[in-house]
A and B are shown apart, each in its own frame.
Chain A
Amino acid sequence: MTVLEQRGAYQPSPPPAWQPRMDPAPLLPDAEPYRVLGTEAAAEADPDLLRRLYAQLVRGRRYNAQATALTKQGRLAVYPSSTGQEACEVAAALALEERDWLFPSYRDTLAVVARGVDPVEALTLLRGDWHTGYDPYEHRVAPLSTPLATQLPHAVGLAHAARLKGDDVVALAMVGDGGTSEGDFHEALNFAAVWQAPVVFLVQNNGFAISVPLAKQTAAPSLAHKAVGYGMPGRLVDGNDAVAVHEVLGDAVRRARAGGGPTLVEAVTYRVDAHTNADDATRYRGDAEVEAWRAHDPVQLLERELTGRGLLDEDGLAAARQDAEQMAADLRERMNRDPELNPMDLFDHVYAENTAQLREQRALLRAELEAEQGDQEGGLR
């Protein structure tokens, strides 16, 4: 007999009844990525939507090629190509209404352009003449975010604020597979779910965070599974199937707009090019893997559907290519002009009103520039 039993005083009380807050089953993603193209469901897809997606895909592919060429010509400091991921980019932009907001990551230039932003202004950050070229309010596109996942809580806050104001605005926030390991990813998903904010998170799982493969990034069954722990649904979709991504994102956007709360969508895709022009992808992956993904090309997949159903003939295909070529020529021509830079801009947007210290520094730079100009003029005389 123990001491406590001898005293006869110890009566352990049963713990309060526990039950889970909700049934996690509806939140779980399907075992396989959702696909439309190449299945019977494709026959039901709206022909107009298919044509719009295709036109943007072709433009996106050409844009990636042109921007990559511009890095080789020294016109861009760096370009993170999204070749192979164009379906995610295009579907992201087309899933939104005009009043909605897009929160892109640094690789998401195509989504930004597909949203209506001037192709040259979308490259300002990467050219290096300023940080953000476009007015975020004009097309409701946040600045391209270079720190990983830090733009996700912004999307949550904006969507939350819009709902507080009574506006039915949805925010779509884009992040890569590597970004899902960041603390801000976790905090953003948690805030969104607790606040039931009208946000859609789109993870483009392109296989690598620069060189680190997904297996070293996470032990989760899929990135879509991460949603369940926060209390939001996770959806898994073939990221190279533009129709499927558009459908899944469209559902998530409608659900958010109707007050159903956030969704996490994982689009499984592949970055065919290197991380940027400064990266050597042959150090961390083999040709066979890249070739297998090239065979599952987002442009080809959609093109097959369009031609197979007779929705686009040779002339139609040629017109799409012609349109993309025109866009590329225009981009090339405009990017080959030197940007007009005003060094005084350095001081103009630090604070609403410059501090005395910045006014002094501004005057110093002005004097330096005037002296430089004087030297040049003196040289001419």
Chain B
Amino acid sequence: MTTVAVKPATMAQALTRAMRDAMAADPSVHVMGEDVGTLGGVFRVTDGLAKEFGEDRCTDTPLAEAGILGTAVGMAMYGLRPVVEMQFDAFAYPAFEQLISHVSRMRNRTRGRMPLPITVRIPYGGGIGGVEHHSDSSEAYYMATPGLHVVTPATVADAYGLLRQAIASDDPVVFLEPKRLYWSKDSWNPEQPTDVEPIGRAVVRRRGSSATLLTYGPSLPVCMEAAEAARSEGWDLEVVDLRSLVPFDDETVCASVRRTGRAVVVHESTGFGGPGGEIAARVTERCFHHLEAPVLRVAGFDIPYPPPMLERHHLPGVDRILDAVGRLQWEAEG
């Protein structure tokens, strides 16, 4: 990292800073949701915004997700840039109809005359000991809806940079915040945030030659750890942070897989019908002649998200990733 750190910052702080800077730069940016005002959000990600910008700019809404997103649609129609918080992944489901029937397609429906610059912030994923309905990985639902961008940061710098880009985007962006990384720290200077790659670009986080781990959001640190552990097995793993699931960066992903000849997709979301199936298919279609082994998936089990005392068995961990890497020695098998 080239950033000069004043002190380590958390991802949550970077997200707050991104909204603060966006609101200061553009009076049309409005933050809204349940508990985002006085309380500063249940994760404190909107802390201080209501105080600094007033309750008209950072608004505690009634408790109704369809209403929150539905009113945001009307606000965007009138020239505002709403940043909507959905509090928890599974709490966003009542807003699905607004997202799918209106937010994602208003530009299309009106032949480009009525774009909706809405950012939907959704804390997602497990690993924080949340009870039922607090740990879902719902990215596949959003990915399957044309018209939405789907973005998820894994680093502090990306949390700031991608959220600024999402708010500035003229298209609706589903901004998935890996809630178990909220308190992960990194050397990052909030006074001089570095530029990050744009939405739609994946980034190679670790160079390697034996195989590529394709991952994003909460699974990136796990993959980085797995890559370190794999060194003792003689594997030199490359780790690609997808960052943006829609648009998808085929170029960076395929360049990496062609270099290494092997790939494992790693995510928390369920495997069946999950993002990994799409990613593996894309890689296979484009890199078949470079592949030494089938593209494997290490995903959450195909079960409703488990209760907190069992979630460690569900979440892809270092060992499960290393086992998959071991299975990539395809040509050595019988």
A284 an interface residue at 8 Å Cβ cutoff? no
Answer whether residue B102 sits at the interface, using C-beta atoms and an 8 A cutoff. yes
B113 CB within 8 Å of chain A? yes
What string of 1s and 0s marks CB contacts (under 8 Å) between B242-256 and chain A? 000011101100000
Is A257 close to B, CB under 8 A?
no
What total count of A-B pairs have CB within 8 Å? 139
Does A13 make an interface contact (CB < 8 A)? no
User: Known contacts A132-B111, A157-B73, A187-B70: does B170 contact A352 (CB below 8 Å)?
Assistant: yes
Contact A142-B146, Cβ < 8 Å, known A350-B108, A355-B247: no
B185 on interface, CB distance cutoff 8 Å: no
Do B247 and A356 touch across chains, with their CB atoms under 8 A apart?
yes
Residues of B108-135 contacting chain A, CB below 8 A:
108-115
Q: Are A188 and B67 in contact (CB under 8 A)?
A: yes
Residue of B nearest to A169 (CB): B78
**Given the complex, which residues of B lie within 8 Å of A188, measured CB to CB?**
67, 70-71
- Residues of B close to A349: CB separation below 8 A: 107-108, 110-112
- Asked whether any CB of chain A lies closer than 8 Å to the CB of B40, the reply is no
B77 at the interface (CB under 8 A from A): yes
Interface residues on A, range: 35 or more
Give B248's nearest chain A residue, CB to CB: A357
By a CB distance below 8 angstroms, the chain A residues around B97 are 147, 150, 184
Q: Given A191-B62, A355-B200, do A153 and B74 touch, yes or no (CB 8 Å)?
A: yes
**Is A139 interfacial (CB 8 A cutoff)?**
no
Q: How far is the CA of A329 from the CA of B9 in the complex (A)?
A: 69
Q: Are B66 and A350 in contact (CB under 8 A)?
A: no
Is A143 an interface residue, CB under 8 A from the partner?
yes
Asked whether B74 lies within 8 Å of A160 as measured between CB atoms, the reply is yes
Please classify the interface of chain A as helix (H, G, I), strand (E, B), loop, or mixed, using the class held by over half of its residues.
helix
CB nearest to B169 among chain A residues? A352
**Is A345 engaged at the interface, CB distance under 8 Å to the other chain?**
yes
Name A135's contact: one of B75, B76, B110 (CB within 8 Å): B110
Minimum Cβ distance to chain B for residue A288 (Å)? 39
Closest residue of A by beta carbon distance from B250 = A356
Complex partner residue of B78 from A152, A158, A187, A194, CB under 8 angstroms: A158
For the complex, what is the distance from the CA of A164 to the CA of B78, rounded to whole Å?
A: 10
* A351 at interface by CB-CB < 8 Å: yes
Say which size band chain B's interface belongs to: 35 or more
Interface: A232 (CB within 8 A): no
User: Measured between C-beta atoms, what is the minimum distance from B126 to chain A in Å?
Assistant: 28
Q: Chain B interface secondary structure, helix, strand, loop or mixed?
A: mixed
Contact present for A150 and B77 (CB under 8 Å): no
Residue with the highest number of chain B CB atoms closer than 10 Å, among A171, A190, A351: A351
Flag whether B72 is at the interface (Cβ < 8 A): yes
Interface membership of chain A positions 356-375, coded 1 if the CB is closer than 8 angstroms to chain B and 0 otherwise: 11000000000000000000
Of A130, A161, A187, which is within 8 A of B111 by CB?
A: A130
Query: Which of B62, B67, B170 lies at the interface centre, i.e. has the most chain A CB atoms within 10 A of its CB?
Result: B67
Interface contact B109-A131, CB-CB below 8 Å: yes
CB distance from A71 to the nearest CB of B (A): 22
Q: Which of A147, A154, A355 contacts B74 (CB 8 A)?
A: A154
When distances are taken between beta carbons in the complex, the residues of chain A under 8 Å from B200 are 355-356
The reply to whether the CB of B232 lies closer than 8 angstroms to some CB of chain A is no
Whether B77 lies near A142 (C-beta < 8 A) is yes
**In the complex, chain A residues whose CB is within 8 Å of the CB of B73:** 153-154, 157
Q: How far is the CB of A351 from chain B (nearest CB, A)?
A: 5
Once A156-B71, A352-B171 are accepted as A-B contacts, the answer to whether A147 and B247 lie under 8 Å apart by CB is no
Chain B residues with Cβ below 8 Å from A194 are 62
A183 within 8 A of B: yes
Cβ of B2 under 8 Å from chain A: no
Contact between B77 and A158, CB atoms less than 8 A apart: yes
Given the complex, which residues of A lie within 8 Å of B69, measured CB to CB? 153
A135 partner residues in chain B, CB cutoff 8 A: 110, 113
Give complex CA distance A157, B146 in Å.
24
**Bound-complex Cα distance A183 to B62 (A):** 14
* Inter-chain contact B110/A143, CB cutoff 8 Å: yes
Residues of chain B within 8 A of A183, CB atoms compared? 66, 94
How far is A348 from B108 in the complex, measured between Cα atoms in Å? Answer: 8
In angstroms, how far is the closest chain B Cβ from the Cβ of A80? Answer: 18
B91 CB to nearest A CB, Å? 14
Cβ A350 vs Cβ B109 within 8 A: no
The answer to whether A157 touches B62 (Cβ under 8 A) is no
With CB as the reference atom, state the residue of chain A lying closest to B56. Answer: A164
Given contacts A136-B110, A355-B246, A154 and B115 within 8 Å (CB-CB)? no
Selected from B72, B107, B251, the residue in CB contact (under 8 A) with A157 is: B72
Q: Say yes or no: A154 contacts B112, CB within 8 Å.
A: no
Min distance, Cβ B242 to any Cβ of chain A, angstroms: 14
Binding site for B on A (CB under 8 A): 130-132, 135-137, 142-143, 147, 150, 152-162, 164-165, 171, 183-184, 187-188, 190-191, 194, 345, 348-352, 355-357
Smallest CB-CB A-B distances: 10 pairs: A157-B74, A153-B70, A187-B67, A157-B71, A158-B74, A355-B247, A161-B78, A154-B74, A131-B109, A161-B75
- If A136-B110, A188-B70 are given as contacts, then 14 extra A-B residue pairs at C-beta distance below 8 Å, sorted by A number, are A132-B110, A137-B113, A143-B109, A147-B101, A153-B73, A157-B76, A161-B77, A162-B78, A164-B56, A184-B66, A190-B64, A349-B111, A350-B107, A351-B107
16 of the cross-chain contacts (CB-CB < 8 Å) are: A131-B108, A131-B110, A150-B70, A153-B66, A153-B70, A154-B102, A157-B78, A158-B78, A161-B78, A187-B67, A190-B62, A350-B107, A351-B107, A352-B107, A355-B247, A357-B248
